[in-house]
Amino acid sequence: MAAKPKPTPGPPRALSIAMVRIGTQQLRVGRQAGSGRGVPLLAFNGIGGNIELVEPLARSMPRRELITFDVPGVGHSPLPRRPYRLSDLARLAAGVLQSYGHRRCDVLGVSWGGAAAQQFARSEGEQCRRLILCATAPGCVMVPARPGVLLKMATPKRLMSREYALRVSGEIYGGDFRRDPALAAAVFRHIRWQSWQGYYLQLAAAAGWTSIHWLHHLPQPNAGHGRC
């Protein structure tokens, strides 16, 4: 019998993983130590996004300290005892930052995580040096997406089914995802699905939220913006 080929090892893990308790909530936290110089980058994922989705970013800048976490009910962070709002998430993020001995950070937010990042910059302003927002919006007061796209975003099916993710990624994410289905496949390899409850708690956390009336007053420089 022919020997089975050995699986090709993946790239080395950039983030070390730990469970951190902030108040009554356990959070699964990922951290890249970097060079130990400068302020860390605190990253907020998009809805349903887990730590592993930040690994490629961390590997692209190995000297930068990066901290991220699975929000309650997502990835491997347990469900919270009760529903939360973005302001609650900002406090949890501040606790994570402090647990690693940091008083300040630069903050990156992608999509849903961009709303969380905006709220962190407002609620925990003394801890936020710079704000980087990617593919996000000021909440419920914004130009809406097409109804068909919103319906696809309202379900976590794209995080549960690879085939579905490949089919709808171009319409949801736009840009290069329309031309290159391999991008969606590469992203899906990092997904660690947990539960419907966690996904809908994230939707509820941002329901009715908007930064439109205070975003322009934030003192932090917006260090960048982008589209996926």
pLDDT by residue (tens digit) across 135-158?
A: 899 998 776 677 777 777 777 888
Query: Closest by alpha carbon to 63, among 39, 43, 42, 33?
Result: 33
Print the domain residue range for 86.
16-140+196-213
As a whole number, mean pLDDT of residues 31-43 equals 95
Residue 147 falls within a domain, yes or no? no
Phi-psi region of 135 (alpha: psi -120 to 50; beta: other; left: phi over 0): left
- Look up the pTM and report it: 0.86
Give the number of domains in the chain: 1
Of 3-7, 43-47, 154-158, where does mean pLDDT reach its minimum? 3-7
Residue 134 falls within a domain, yes or no? yes
Tens-place pLDDT, residues 77-123: 999 999 999 999 999 999 999 999 999 999 999 999 999 999 999 99
Decide if 158 contacts 152 (C-beta within 8 A): yes
| Direct distance between the N- and C-terminal alpha carbons of the chain, in angstroms, rounded to an integer | 47
Question: Cβ–Cβ contacts within 10 Å for residue 218, how many?
Answer: 15
**Active site residues per annotation:** 111
Q: The CATH number of the domain where 38 resides is what?
A: 3.40.50.1820
**What pLDDT shows up at residue 192?**
80
**What pLDDT shows up at residue 84?**
97
Between CA 45 and CA 70 the distance in angstroms is 8
Percent of the chain with pLDDT over 70: 91
As a whole number, mean pLDDT of residues 19-44 equals 96
Residue 218 falls within a domain, yes or no? no
**What pLDDT shows up at residue 185?**
80
- What are the φ and ψ backbone dihedral angles of 36, each rounded to 5 degrees? 80, 5
Residue 65 falls within a domain, yes or no? yes
Residue 40 falls within a domain, yes or no? yes
Residue 7 falls within a domain, yes or no? no
Residue 90 falls within a domain, yes or no? yes
Residue 172 falls within a domain, yes or no? no
